[in-house]
Amino acid sequence: MEQRIAVKMDTDTIPVTGVDDLEKHLDQLINDPTIALNDKLFDHVELQLTEANIPPLIPRLLPRITDILKQFQQDPAVLCSLAIKLLGPLSFTQVMSLASEESILQALRSPAPSANLLAMSIVHKAAKSPGDAAIFAAMKDTVIAFLTKWLNAPQVEVGEKGSKVLGDLLDVDSDARPPEGLAVSGVEIVLRRVPGQGFMWRRVFHDADVYGVILSLCSNGPHHGAPGGLTPLQLSLAQGRLLRILPRLAALNFTSLTKSEFTALHQRFAGSMTDGGLLHFAALHMVDKTDVLMHMNLIDFFEALLSIQRITPFSQYKVDTLRVLFKEASYQDDTLKNSVLSLHERTVPDEADEVRQFIREICTA
């Protein structure tokens, strides 16, 4: 059954030239996906698109692009770029009425980074509201495919997009967020908004299959020597991506990041029998400190974590947990210890004294 989407239109919109020719070209590609793409024609149409003139083009172009992508073996960059532009005005639920979950899975699993970015752009739309985030959380296979691509993609742009999408999804869905929001040095870390429903948090942190994907892809071990395992470079990228997102997530729900019900998974991938969560895994068990770059990433992680936790609501549990993490991580690691203890020297002057006091409370207790 054909789906109809109602979108407000500007009656004074200037017609987009080249659309008829593009339709014919897309039909040719559907019949023969091996013919060469007319990049100039795609660019000509895409450069004219605005929020006002996109809606009437969606039913004309998007179904054709979707059909082509299912069988296309060449670089789909121009197809994906146009699809992202066409999808711009649509909500997550509107997109899902046009594209199947299977098509998003196929794009996430594609070796083409442009297809990965298209899929992640669709998933990102679920971060617009707690309700949409809940819908996405129910798509377990897609959540796993998204997290897998976020961590194992060799392309920097795919990793960065995945980090942004995951952070925004968990932000809008957090049911334990600071109600007034948070900002560090004028940069908003947690937006001021109503609490979410927690469905994405439960999917990521309380579903063994999903949680295990993160531990598996970010832990060093013989499983990476098997088919599908990560190269040393990919492992470093995955670990770096996890380290960079955790400080933001810890500001949204510190408890979910520091407690885990999956002791067996932590034992398998980190050799740890504690009930500590991803924060403990990343801070204490994940990084090979003989890798200079990863050691620097770990230091950056601690500095970001403590900078943000300084302005989150006080709890003795938080303070005690941070003390344990720092004490264990800095044992026989003077570089990490000295970098954190001098953090106030690299902080804006208005906040330096408060940072020094907080660091002293955590790190010299």
How many Å apart are CA 182 and CA 178, to the nearest integer?
7
Q: What pLDDT sits at residue 8?
A: 46
pLDDT digits 0-9 by tens, 157-179: 999 999 999 999 999 999 887 66
Please report the pLDDT score of residue 9 as a whole number.
44
Name 16's Cβ contacts closer than 8 Å, sequence gap at least 6: 45, 48, 49, 53, 57
What is residue 1's predicted lDDT score, i.e. its pLDDT?
43
Cα separations (Å) of 157 from 75, 118, 126, 160? 16, 12, 20, 5
| 140-152 and 101-109 helices, crossing angle to 10° | 20
Q: Shortest CA distance to 99 belongs to which of 128, 127, 126, 134?
A: 126
pLDDT of residue 221: 77
Can you say whether residue 185 is alpha, beta or left, with left for phi > 0 and alpha for psi between -120 and 50 degrees?
left
Res 187: pLDDT = 57
How many residues comprise the chain? 365
**What angle separates helix 101-109 from helix 58-71, to the nearest 10 degrees?**
50
Copy the structure tokens of residue 54.
């996109």
Q: Please state the pTM of the whole predicted model.
A: 0.91
Q: What percent of the chain has pLDDT over 90?
A: 79
Contact 152, 242 (CB under 8 A): no
266 exposure class (CB count in 10 Å sphere: 0-12, 13-18, 19+): buried
pLDDT by 10-residue block (mean), the chain, 365 residues = 47 78 96 94 95 93 92 92 96 93 94 96 96 97 98 96 96 80 58 82 97 94 71 94 96 94 92 87 95 97 95 93 96 96 93 94 86
Whole-number pLDDT of residue 2? 46
Closest CA to 215 of 303, 281, 311, 132: 281
